[in-house]
Amino acid sequence: MENNNNQGNDDRGFRHSGQTFMILIIAAVITFFVYTLIRGAFVTGVTQEISYTEFVTMVDSDQVEKVEWGDSDITIIPKEGASMPSDSTGEYSPYLNQVDVRYYVVPVGADAQKLVDRMLEHGVVIYKKKPDNSGFIMEALISIVLPFVLIFVVMNMTMRRMGNGNGGIMGVGKSTAKMYMQKETGVTFKDVAGEDEAKESLIEIVDFLHNPTKYTAIGAKLPKGALLVGPPGTGKTLLAKAVAGEAQVPFYSLSGSDFVEMFVGVGASRVRDLFKQATQSAPCIIFIDEIDAIGKTRDTRFGGNEEREQTLNQLLSEMDGFDASKGIMVMGATNRPEILDPALLRPGRFDRRIVVEKPDLKGRVNILKVHAQDVQLDDSVDFNEIALATSGAVGADLANMMNEAAITAVKHGRKKVSQADLFEAVEVVLVGKEKKDRILSQEERRIVSYHEVGHALVSAIQKDAEPVQKITIVPRTMGALGYVMQVPEEEKYLNTKAELHAMLVTFLAGRAAEEIVFDTVTTGAANDIEKATKLARAMVTQYGMSERFGLMGLESQESLYLNTGRTVMNCGDDTATAVDQEVMQVLKSCYEEAKRILSENREALDQIAAFLIERETITGKEFMDILHRIQHPAESADTECV
């Protein structure tokens, strides 16, 4: 492995010329400074120049030990303790006798002879100076060799930092796992609401971790891995933390994507480090979030990914290798279990699968309660009502709604959260915030109004459809120009064919109203059309609800938990064409039905739309009042009398 790393380093150093260039520049600058410093030390500071007069005076007063007679200068070595006459620059330093004193103009001819005689008289030793090459050699050494030495040193240091540090791209993550290690997660099962079945399976795991010997004593093999699967936001990560919190063991957590690096072998080494560390602090939990990032099946149509496969192989072998009886539990979480490699799921690895479902009505109420713990609520709050209005929402959505509601309350200067705040929060999470500054033209408001009332009216008139809660034509940040909020009276797990049909007609009723009233159509129905088509197609291909194809399964959902709606056709091209025709037929007849219903109730359509244009938002009750008055004029006349 080390080899691999080093290889990586080298690759990096030489391939990425940008970095090398930087290093070169740094080395050059350093070299320049060092060179100047050293050069300065050789040339200055130890040599001093004096005048000829001073020199002669020194000789005469017996202060000169010896001289070196050169071609261009005479170097004077003074006697120890010599006191020198001060020159123009001031006093000589006390170190003078350790210093070369130079006299630069060398006398020639008769003058030279005189000087020599004089010096001999005073017992000065005279040498002939050897030609001095040392300066040149030093310079050559410094300017040629030093840069290379420095480059080498700097590069070496950089490499080492990149190779072994935590932060570098090449960080092999020896300590990455540690960074995510938590001694105590602080989360317990109490913080997770509405996932009772999942919690039940996990309680067992907590017990394994608490008491591994209880199981090994009887000869039972402890499970090694558990996989949490479910849609995003249902609390998988939260549950894993809760297990660690309940078992009070360290929690090593890494996300699958942390393992995936651009260099082959890095992920695998991370896996090994992670297990090594975990083994040392057993009992503990190793949690790999979003495990599909590494656990994707190796058998892909699009060719493999060397790095990911190597990481996966390492994970598989580590899972086989460790001793579960010490109390190590590997947990994984994913919302795409169908793409995981079968090898990961076989007994002895992630053999336990814990399904974390979207919460049901009761679950949603409980989740709201958990997140309302620290929130001040007033008496109007009824979680049941909110839970009913949020069918299909997951824990993360509900937590978000609770927070939005609290923020709304603060914005309105209130001390407590009311039911109205909560409903507004539900809308914010589902369709976005109100966009008050988007001004629709009068004509647009009329069209949007008729469109929305079309949906609401058709839904109210068809017996199987759900009642209307609210209609609004205030634009929203997520793109809706208006919408109809429907509230289911109870949680539904099954839909009858009649209900689905009614839904289709309702989806298309917006467009139908536009056509009837304005005799033209707009782009506003795009989303309705998309939803209607998806539903109609599912009825034909998945639910076996068409006469023509009967119970033939023509399409299957690509992903179990992700709501991408992507499907795979399981039929031949001819059949696919026929399916398209069938879907088209269904949509056409539903559209006709919507138009028929609206034409029959034209008066209600006009009146409610007019009311909505005036008010911008009307409640389900106001809507039903108008509808009733028109449907039963006599009755409502009576009520008015009373």
329: its two tokens? 């539990």
From Mg ion, Zn ion, ligand ADP, none, which one binds at residue 370 (CB under 5 to 8 Å depending on kind)?
A: ligand ADP
From Mg ion, ligand ADP, Zn ion, none, which one binds at residue 510 (CB under 5 to 8 Å depending on kind)?
A: Zn ion
Distances (CA, A) of 135 to 43, 72, 436: 9, 16, 83
**Sole binder of Zn ion in the list 68, 289, 290, 528 (CB under 5 A):** 528
From ligand ADP, Zn ion, Mg ion, none, which one binds at residue 528 (CB under 5 to 8 Å depending on kind)?
A: Zn ion
Q: Does 235 bind ligand ADP (CB under 6 A)?
A: yes
- Work out how close the CB of 336 gets to Mg ion at its nearest, in angstroms, rounded to a whole number: 12
**Sole binder of ligand ADP in the list 232, 321, 348, 565 (CB under 6 A):** 232
State the distance between the two ends of the chain, measured CA to CA, in whole angstroms.
Answer: 89
Q: Does 358 bind ligand ADP (CB under 6 A)?
A: no
Interface mask (CB under 5 A) for Zn ion, residues 497-516, using x and -? -------------x------
Phi, psi of 279 (to 5 degrees): -60, -35
Q: Which residue has the tokens 């690509």?
A: 558
Rounded Cα–Cα distance for residues 376 and 381 (Å): 10
Active-site annotation holds for 443: no
Q: Does 469 bind ligand ADP (CB under 6 A)?
A: no
Q: Does 54 bind Zn ion (CB under 5 A)?
A: no
Q: Does 234 bind ligand ADP (CB under 6 A)?
A: yes
Residue nearer to ligand ADP on the CB measure, 135 or 232: 232
- Work out how close the CB of 578 gets to ligand ADP at its nearest, in angstroms, rounded to a whole number: 39
Q: Does 237 bind ligand ADP (CB under 6 A)?
A: yes
Residue nearer to ligand ADP on the CB measure, 31 or 237: 237
- The stretches of 52-180 forming alpha helices (DSSP H) are 52-60, 109-121, 134-140, 146-164, 176-179
Interface mask (CB under 6 A) for ligand ADP, residues 368-397, using x and -? --x------------------------xx-
Q: Does 608 bind ligand ADP (CB under 6 A)?
A: no
Rounded Cα–Cα distance for residues 342 and 337 (Å): 10
Q: Does 267 bind Zn ion (CB under 5 A)?
A: no
Query: Are the beta carbons of 507 and 532 closer than 8 angstroms?
Result: yes
81: its two tokens? 């303790």
Residues in contact with 465: Cβ distance below 8 Å, sequence separation at least 6, in sequence order: 458, 459, 486, 499, 502, 503, 506
Residue nearer to ligand ADP on the CB measure, 271 or 368: 368
Q: Is residue 636 helix, strand or coil?
A: helix
Pairing of strands 100-103, 47-49: parallel
From Zn ion, ligand ADP, Mg ion, none, which one binds at residue 68 (CB under 5 to 8 Å depending on kind)?
A: none
Residue nearer to ligand ADP on the CB measure, 25 or 203: 203
Instruction: Write the secondary structure of 336-390 as one string of H (helix), E (strand) and C (coil).
Output: CHHHECHHHHCCCCCCEEEECCCCCHHHHHHHHHHHHCCCCECCCCCHHHHHHHC
Q: Is residue 168 helix, strand or coil?
A: coil
Query: Are the beta carbons of 531 and 510 closer than 8 angstroms?
Result: no
* Chain residue whose CB lies nearest Mg ion: 237
Residue nearer to Mg ion on the CB measure, 237 or 449: 237
Q: Quick check: bond before 232 cis, omega within 30? A: no
Residue nearer to ligand ADP on the CB measure, 390 or 486: 390
Residue nearer to Zn ion on the CB measure, 181 or 484: 484
- Work out how close the CB of 394 gets to ligand ADP at its nearest, in angstroms, rounded to a whole number: 6
From Mg ion, ligand ADP, Zn ion, none, which one binds at residue 474 (CB under 5 to 8 Å depending on kind)?
A: none
Residue nearer to ligand ADP on the CB measure, 38 or 396: 396
580: its two tokens? 């398209």
Residue nearer to Mg ion on the CB measure, 158 or 237: 237
> Interface with ligand ADP by CB under 6 A: which range of 187-195, 324-332, 491-499, 549-557?
187-195
Q: Does 236 bind ligand ADP (CB under 6 A)?
A: yes
69: β partners? 74, 128
- Work out how close the CB of 419 gets to ligand ADP at its nearest, in angstroms, rounded to a whole number: 21
**Sole binder of ligand ADP in the list 68, 195, 258, 452 (CB under 6 A):** 195
Query: Are the beta carbons of 546 and 510 closer than 8 angstroms?
Result: no
How many helices (H) and strands (E) are present in the chain, helices listed first?
A: 26, 15
* Chain residue whose CB lies nearest ligand ADP: 395
- The stretches of 462-572 forming alpha helices (DSSP H) are 497-518, 526-541
**Sole binder of ligand ADP in the list 78, 147, 173, 194 (CB under 6 A):** 194
**Sole binder of ligand ADP in the list 58, 59, 193, 512 (CB under 6 A):** 193
From ligand ADP, Zn ion, Mg ion, none, which one binds at residue 367 (CB under 5 to 8 Å depending on kind)?
A: ligand ADP
Query: Are the beta carbons of 229 and 334 closer than 8 angstroms?
Result: yes
- Work out how close the CB of 428 gets to ligand ADP at its nearest, in angstroms, rounded to a whole number: 17
Phi, psi of 94 (to 5 degrees): -65, -15
Which one-letter amino acid corresponds to residue 273?
A: D
Catalytic residue among 452, 515, 582, 593: 452
Distances (CA, A) of 457 to 116, 176, 463, 610: 128, 59, 11, 14
**Sole binder of ligand ADP in the list 260, 399, 474, 610 (CB under 6 A):** 399
Distances (CA, A) of 484 to 161, 448, 475, 559: 60, 11, 12, 29
Residue nearer to ligand ADP on the CB measure, 375 or 630: 375
Q: How many binding residues for Zn ion (CB under 5 A)?
A: 2
Neighbour-count burial of 306, counting CB atoms closer than 10 A to its CB (0-12 exposed, 13-18 middle, 19+ buried): exposed
Show which residues are catalytic.
Answer: 452
Q: Which residues bind ligand ADP (CB under 6 A)?
A: 192-195, 232-238, 333, 367, 370, 395-396, 399
Q: Which residues bind Zn ion (CB under 5 A)?
A: 510, 528
